[in-house]
Each structure stands twice: as structure tokens, then as C-alpha cells.
Amino acid sequence: MIKLILIPLFCINAAAQSVLFIGDSHSVGPFGKKLDFLLRENGFAVETYASCGSIAQWWVTGKPTNCGYFFKNFEGKTSFGLKADTPILAKLLEKNKPAFVIVELGANYASVLSDDMAIEDMSAMAKSIKATGAKCFWLTKPDSRKNSFDIPRVLALTQKAVSPYCDIFDSTKVTEYPEKGGDGIHYSFKEGIPIAENWAKEVFKWFSLGKDTEKKKNTDSDNSL
């Protein structure tokens, strides 16, 4: 008698739709919370980890943040506050084995003086994500009023570092920082919140299209055999 091992369909679907979302202070704030909500609302199994002030290196060393964090697991359990160790990305990838990884990093490279260091740092993270077999989606820094002159430099560094490994979303194209209010960088104020939430909506639409395009590409490849 042949015994069939039945795997529940929802388990297969959850694995296929699993997302790891990591980011810096923008993901701690209204942008990250909105994107996390949109992903969950649309059936994705999501874990979100955001560490204020972080660059890619922090996700290797576990450097603590002192300006805010937002963590939310698959079950929706949330923790937040000012101080916490930045999670180790390699451990998150091993534990969760996500199908997709969304990275929102870039803003804090404005204070990194070495272009080579910034490129190597982001590139190492993007490469490590791709090596797991997950599809990588990288979100650049959004618009800002403070240090706006440095935006083209940071975008160019991000593009050079990440493009071989990840799809890239230019966040400056869907954000315009208000002329007044806020701290010039973050969107956690009355006029900024709607901009951040719209940014999240645009990212979700882009992610959904990219995810489906990848699925179609793989299906077409299988059919050509």
C-alpha cells in the first residue's frame, strides 16, 4: 500500500509568498508600517525588521540602534522602542528562508565619506541575499530637504552596488519632501505621513509586478524545456 504524504496547500503557499522586509529609520516610521500592512493584507507571510541609522554593515555586526526600531514577526507580534541590537541578516535568511527580500537602505550613506566603502557595503548585502535564492528588491533613499545636494551621489552608489543582484526602486521619484515641517529627512509628521504612505503603496505595486514577472519568467523557462 502506497502512503501519500499530504502537505497542506496553505503551507506551500505561505512558503512561496514569504517576505523578509528590512530597513532603516524610514521603515521604523510610517513608510515601513504601511508597507508591512499592505504586504500582510494581501496574503504575504511577512517578517519586518527596521533599525534606525542602519547601513548594510550593521546587519552583519549587529550594531545597536539608539534612535528607534520596529520588529514584527510572521504572527504579527510587534516590538518597538529606541534601543535594540540590529538583527543579523544571515540569521534571518537562514531562519525564515524567504522567497522575497525587500531592503530599504541608502539614506544613511549620505554620512559615509568613502564611495568605495558604500558600494562594497551595499553590494555585499545584495550578493548575500541573491546567494540564498531569494529574489531581492532594493528601495533607495527617498527625497529629503536636508542634504538634498547629496541625493544624486547616493542614488548612483546604490545603483552601482546593487543592480547586479536586485531590482531597484528609485524612491525619490514618488516622494517630494515638504518645504516646511519635519526634520528635513523623516516623514513622521502631519504633512509627511501621507507622502510616506503613498511611497509604500507605490513600492507595493512595483513589488507585486516584479514578483509576478519573475514567476512568469520561471514558468516560461520551464515550458521551453
Specify the pLDDT at position 186: 98
pLDDT tens column, 114-135? 999 999 999 999 999 999 999 9
Specify the pLDDT at position 71: 98
> Which of 59-68, 101-110, 141-150, 205-214 has the lowest average pLDDT?
205-214
pLDDT at 6 over 50: no
pLDDT at 40 over 90: yes
Instruction: Catalogue all structural domains in the chain, each as residue range(s) with its CATH number.
Output: 16-209 (3.40.50.1110)
Contact call for residues 36 and 109 (beta carbons, < 8 A): no
pLDDT at 8 over 80: no
Specify the pLDDT at position 16: 61
Cell of 23: 530597513
> Which of 6-15, 69-78, 164-173, 195-204 has the lowest average pLDDT?
6-15
pLDDT band at residue 113, thresholds of 50, 70 and 90?
confident
